[in-house]
Structure 1
Amino acid sequence: MIELLYFLLLGVFSGTIAGLLGLGGGIILVPSLIWIFQNGLNIHQEKLMHMTIATSMTTIVFTAIFSIYAHQKRKAIHWRAFKKLLIGMILGTLLGVFVASHLSSSFLKITFAFFLLIVALQIEFLGNPKAEKKFPGYLLSNIFGFFIGNLSALVGIGGGSLIVPLLLWFRVPIRNAIATSAACGLPIALSGAIGFIILGYKNSVNQSSGYVYWPAVFAIVPASLIFVPLGVKLAHRLPVEILKRIFAIFLIVISIKMLIGEFL
């Protein structure tokens, strides 16, 4: 029962952060789920990260559907860019799932920790990239999509922290970049979730399908969706730049803690 409370609180936190900073998803879910699975459910260390990543991506499937609906009402999704990235994202994600299923939990955790560091540095020092080029054709777009999907599957995210900077670089307006990123999160998360269910089938535990732990999904999703509007409201009232700095420091601390735990 206490684990259910943890999942609900995680949904509240991730939803609020997503609305407040335009971030969230796997960046919040993965380190939190690691702690809950390890301390509350005693998931075997060997499959800890696989179940964490798979559950995170499955959660993102539902939140992405909600986000697409909200953004499409404002006609903010750049569907042409989405279509150009789509095939590459799906293929890259499926390959990433296959690779992740053959990597150790420790290696995946280290990969995620370094990914957090990069995201934190981007938030704190790089900001949004300057627009320099027009959006590329299908071949180059799918190459970008492939690498985004591949990395997303390895660290359990929907790809927003990678897709938004890419779209901004190719002169997609910020609102459209965020909306299109939300749309891209659905095929990445869906193909990732399906892949982890199939490849993890022999490792299923009670109340899971493959590596996906359903009680976490069904607790996190509604709580997250309910609290996204609160985050959006706070974004218009609080000094977001200061909050971004605090959040970046928070990510750095989590990353360093995960690396220390693995190397020491």
Structure 2
Amino acid sequence: MEDISLISLGFLALALLATGLVAGIIAGLLGVGGGIVIVPVLYYMFTALGIDPSVLMHVAVGTSLATILATGTSSARAHWKRGSVDIDLLKRWWWAIALGVLAGATLAGNISGGALTLVFGVVALAVSANMLLRKDGAALAQTLPGTPFKEVMGFLIGAISVMMGIGGGTLGVPTLTLFNYPIRKAVGTAAAIGLIIAVPGTLMSIWFGLGAEGRPPFSLGYVNLIGFILIIPASTLAAPWGAKIAHAIDPSKLKLIFALFLGFTGLRMIYDVMM
């Protein structure tokens, strides 16, 4: 790691604090959280700061996974207390998700930053299209599929999520509700899935990033410690601001805003890679 000036370090800290504030406002406004907001904001913040493109996305993903360790624990505990975590499903599903996480994190640690950015962009576009085109209450089937299809779904959720630096909500909730799963249990169970993703995902991001050149200062592997320390309290502080705005806006418009946000982010990231 190269020496940096206090001014440069100050700019990095302010940028990461801003990341937490922006992520918190969007999370509170749109009812989402974790990496689906933090990763793209970090991506653009690091780009503006001139971080090496070869590691930029890896650090964004690793830092996001680390923040989910804190936010995901709080969320999962809250849903657990409300009885909205399906323990039986987790008992049958956790190993497939964890196996997917190991495979996805290994792949992410060995591919280029551009390929990782492309993964995020394509999946963000897919999630955006699902939100825009899928009618409320529409389901593919009335129950979850049996073995081995259920396990394959868990594997893919774990693998894709860890490569994107996101928790369980972005892919877990739409997947479960696609099979007529109650929305509250889907959200609560997805929060617990987020921890299954974040714990090994963070450790592997640290491992694969050890010694990598071009990382932002004060990074442990691909986890930026300044970002980890600043994003969590900033996003926690700002989330109620977004929630307050949300109460004054039509929920259908909120869904549209988030879908457009994801769609724009996905297209922009794909464009950055291709051009």
* TM > 0.5 fold call: yes
SS in 2 for 1:130: coil
Q: Which residue of 2 aligns with 1:72?
A: 80
Deviations 1:13-66 (A, max 9, x none): 3233334433232111111111222222x3221111111111111111111001
Identity %: 36
The residue number in structure 2 matching 1:174 is 183
Is structure 2 residue 232 aligned with structure 1 residue 224?
no
The 8 Å contact of residues 168 and 192 in structure 2, kept in 1 or not, is answered as no
Aligned counterpart for 2:170 among listed residues 161, 168, 172? 161
1:87 aligns to 2:95 (yes or no): yes
Report the counterpart of residue 212 of structure 2 in structure 1.
203
State the AA in 2 paired with 1:14.
A
Instruction: For 2:102 and 2:135, locate their aligned partners in 1 and report how far apart those are by CA, in whole Å.
Output: 30
Residue 255, structure 1, aligned to residue 255, structure 2: no
Aligned length: 263
Q: Are the equivalent residues in 2 in contact too, given 1:86–1:142 (CA < 8 A)?
A: no
> 2: distance between equivalents of 1:224 and 1:37?
18
Of residues 9-18 and 97-106 in structure 1, the stretch that sits farther from structure 2 once superposed is 9-18
What does 1:10-49 align with in structure 2 at a 5 Å threshold?
10-40=19-49, 42-49=50-57
Per-residue Cα deviation, 1:217-260 (whole angstroms, up to 9, x for no partner): 11111122233344445444421111221222222222222222
What amino acid sits opposite 1:152 in the alignment? S
Give the corresponding residue for 1:106. 114
Q: Secondary structure at 1:63's aligned position in 2?
A: helix
Residue 141 in 1 paired to residue 150 in 2? yes
- Measured after TM superposition, the shift of residue 139 of structure 1 is 4.5
Q: Which residue number corresponds to residue 200 of structure 2?
A: 191
Paired amino acid for 2:226: P
Aligned residue type for 2:263: I
Cα separation, partners in 2 of 1:78 and 1:233, compared to 1, 3 Å: farther
CA distance in 2, matches of 1:131, 1:226: 38
The Cα RMSD (Å) is 2.1
Q: Contact between 1:85 and 1:138, CA under 8 Å: does it hold in 2?
A: no
Contact 2:246 2:254 in 1 (8 A): no
Give the alignment partner of residue 151 of structure 1, picking from 121, 137, 160: 160
Q: CA deviation at 1:158?
A: 1.0
TM-score by length of 1: 0.90
Distance 1:38 1:167 in 2: 35
Q: 1:97 to 1:19 in 2, by over 3 A?
A: same
Q: Please tell me the residue identity of whatever aligns with 1:218.
A: I
Structure-2 residue corresponding to 1:243 = 254
Distance 1:106 1:145, change over 3 A: same
Amino acid at match of 1:15: G
Q: Does the aligned pair in 1 maintain the 2:23–2:41 contact within 8 Å?
A: no
Show CA shifts across 1:122-145 (max 9, x none).
111114542623345565433221
Could you list the per-position Cα deviations for residues 81-115 of structure 1 after superposition, in whole angstroms to 9, with x for gaps in the alignment? Answer: 22222111111111111111111111111121111
Match of 1:259, SS state, is helix
Ranges in structure 1 where 5+ consecutive residues have no aligned partner: none
Residues 235/176 of structure 1: CA separation in 2 closer, same or farther (3 Å cut) = farther
Letter in 2 for 1:18: A
Q: Give the TM-score, by structure 2 length.
A: 0.87
What amino acid sits opposite 1:249 in the alignment? L
Decide whether the 8 Å contact of 2:23 with 2:37 is kept in 1: yes
Change (3 A) 1:175 1:166: same
Q: 1:213 aligns with which of 224, 228, 237?
A: 224
The aligned amino acid for 2:16 is F
1:173–1:233: structure 2 CA closer, same or farther, 3 Å change rule?
farther
